[in-house]
C-alpha cells in the first residue's frame, strides 16, 4: 500500500502547495480573466511582454487544487516564450506538464489555456491600438 492516497499527482500537489508566481503585475501588458463563480473557478493571468517575449507572468485564482496547480504551471511554461509560441500551449500540454489530471479536472487545464490566450489577446489588442494612434 502507498503511504499517502491522493486525488492528484505529486506534481499537482507540489504546485498546489508551493504555487509559483502568485500575485498581480503592476502595469501589465496583458490580463486574462476567465471563469465565473457559478462553476467555481476564476483565474486571472497577468503578463509582461518585452520584444515579443513574455518576460513575466503572474496569477490569481479562486478554485480547486487543479485550478491552482494549472495556473501556477502555466505561468512557468510561458515565461521566456515568444508570443506565437505561447499561443500554441494547449490544455493537454498543461495537463501533461503536471503528470496528468483526473478526468473530472481536465476543465481546469482548459481554463488555464483560456486564461493565457485571453491575456495574450488583451496584449495584442493593446498593440494594435498603439499602432493605430
Applying CB under 8 A, which residues contact other proteins? 7-8, 13, 16-17, 19, 22-24, 33, 37-44, 59-68, 104, 107
Can you spell out the DSSP letters for 4-38? Answer: ---SS-HHHHHHHHS-SSBS--SS-SEEEEEEETT
* CA–CA separation, 107 and 122 (whole Å): 22
Reply yes or no on whether 108 is catalytic: yes
Reply yes or no on whether 64 is catalytic: no
Tell me whether residue 20 or residue 53 sits nearer to other proteins (CB atom): 20
Tell me whether residue 13 or residue 83 sits nearer to other proteins (CB atom): 13
> Is 82 strand, coil or helix?
strand
C-alpha cell at 94: 498543461
Q: Which of 108, 111, 115, 119 is catalytic?
A: 108
Q: Which of 6, 7, 10, 39 is catalytic?
A: 39
Tell me whether residue 38 or residue 129 sits nearer to other proteins (CB atom): 38
Grid-cell match 482548459, residue found:
110
Positions annotated as catalytic residues are 39, 108
Amino acid at each position: 500500500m502507498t503511504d499517502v492516497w491522493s486525488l492528484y499527482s505529486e506534481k499537482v500537489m507540489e504546485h498546489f502547495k508551493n504555487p509559483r508566481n502568485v500575485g498581480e503585475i503592476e502595469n501589465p501588458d496583458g490580463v486574462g480573466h476567465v471563469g465565473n463563480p457559478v462553476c467555481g473557478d476564476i483565474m486571472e493571468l497577468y503578463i509582461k511582454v518585452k520584444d515579443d517575449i513574455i518576460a513575466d507572468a503572474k496569477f490569481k485564482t479562486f478554485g480547486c487544487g487543479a485550478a491552482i496547480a494549472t495556473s501556477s504551471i502555466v505561468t512557468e511554461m510561458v515565461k521566456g516564450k515568444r508570443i506565437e509560441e505561447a499561443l500554441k500551449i494547449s490544455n493537454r500540454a498543461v495537463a501533461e506538464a503536471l503528470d496528468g489530471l483526473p478526468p473530472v479536472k481536465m476543465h481546469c487545464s482548459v481554463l488555464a489555456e483560456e486564461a493565457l490566450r485571453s491575456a495574450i489577446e488583451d496584449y495584442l489588442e493593446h498593440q494594435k491600438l498603439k499602432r493605430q494612434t
